[in-house]
Amino acid sequence: MTAHRILYVSSGRTFGGAEQVMLSLATAFAKAGCDVRAIHHPGNTILADEIARRGLGGRAFPEIARRADASAFTELVREYAPDLVHIHRTWPLSDRHAGRGARKAGVRVIATEHVRIEEAGLRDRLAKRVLSRYDDHVIAVSNAVRRSLTGFWGVDPARVVTIPNGVDVAPFARPRVPASAGRHFSGHVPFRIGAIGRLERQKNMTALVDAFARARHAGLDAELCIVGEGSESALIRSAIESAGLGDRVKILKRIDDVPGFLAELDLFVLPSLWEG
C-alpha cells in the first residue's frame, strides 16, 4: 500500500547534508500529494525554519535516545497516525529508540543511514544490532555505509539496501560567475576556493585552513570561503587568525544559493576525514 502520510525524523543539531536530503524527500512527497510531517531537534532552528518555509508540518522533539523517549514518541506517532516513519540517522545510534517507538504504534519504519562511522565499543555495537531489528528497511547512502552497517555494526544484510542520495542537477547548470560579479569573494583576487560542510572534526576544515596557509606562503594569490557552522567554529577562526589569513579567509554560517556559490569557484575542496 502506498504511504500517504509520512513522518520524517531527524535529531541533527546542525543543518547539514542529511537534513537537506530529508527536506528534499519530504518536499517531493508533499508535492506528490502526501501528508508530510517532520520532527526536528529543539535546538535546530535552521531546520525548523526550513520546514515551515516549505509548508511542511513541523514539530520540535528531543532525540529519541532512551526507552522513555520511545514511549513519548509512540504517543506522537499515534497522534499523527502516519503510514510510514522515515528516520534519518546522522550516526548509527542517533534516535536509537525511534524504530522501537514507531513499531509499538504499529507503523512501518524506514531508516536512512547517512554516515560511515566505526568508532564504538562492543556495547554500542550490540545495541545497534538489536535495535536495527525495529527498522523494516535500512537505506545506506553508499556501499561503504552498507558494508560498515552489516560488518562492523552487525545489521542484518537482508534489511539493508544501497540508495545514493539523489540530487536535482538542473539548478547547477549555470555559467561560471566572473570574479568581479561574485557575491562571496572580494572580486580582486584571481583564484577562488570554497568548501561547504559542518564545522566538526569529521569535515576537517582545520586541515583546509592549514593547506590554504601553505599555498599562500608558496605564492598562491587566492581567497577561501568556508560555509558551515558547528562546534569547531572557534577553533577554525583561531587558526585563521593565527595564520594571518583574516583578509583572505571568510566563514559564512549558511548560504541560500549553493549553485550560485559553486559557480563562483575555481576550486571546491572536500577535506573530510570520512563521509557516507
Res. 100: pLDDT tops 50:
yes
Question: Topology of domain 5-162, per CATH?
Answer: Rossmann fold (3.40.50)
- pLDDT tens for residues 131-155? 999 999 999 999 999 999 999 999 9
Q: What are phi and psi of 42, to 5 degrees?
A: -55, -30
- pLDDT tens for residues 6-42? 999 999 988 888 999 999 999 999 999 999 999 999 9
* Residue 96: predicted pLDDT: 96
C-alpha cell at 136: 523494516
Res. 170: pLDDT tops 90:
no
CATH number of the 170-268 domain: 3.40.50.2000
- What is the C-alpha to C-alpha distance for residues 110 and 89, in angstroms, rounded to an integer? 11
DSSP per residue over 2-41, as a string? ---EEEEEE--SS--HHHHHHHHHHHHHHHTT-EEEEEE-
Instruction: Please indicate whether residue 95 or residue 187 has the higher confidence score (pLDDT).
Output: 95
* Residue 256: predicted pLDDT: 82
Three-class SS state of 193: strand
- pLDDT tens for residues 103-128? 999 999 999 999 999 989 999 999 99
- What is the C-alpha to C-alpha distance for residues 163 and 91, in angstroms, rounded to an integer? 17
Helix-strand-coil split of the chain, %, nearest 5:
40, 20, 40
Res. 74: pLDDT tops 50:
yes
Quote the pTM value: 0.83
How confident is the model over 62-68, as a mean pLDDT? 94
Of 198-202, 219-223, 269-273, the one with minimum mean pLDDT is 198-202
pLDDT band at 130 (very low <50, low <70, confident <90, very high): very high
Q: Where in the chain is the domain with CATH 3.40.50.2000?
A: 5-162, 170-268
Instruction: Please indicate whether residue 182 or residue 213 has the higher confidence score (pLDDT).
Output: 213
Burial (CB < 10 A; 0-12, 13-18, 19+), residue 181, is exposed
Res. 232: pLDDT tops 60:
yes
Q: Where are the alpha helices (DSSP H) in 165-232?
A: 205-217
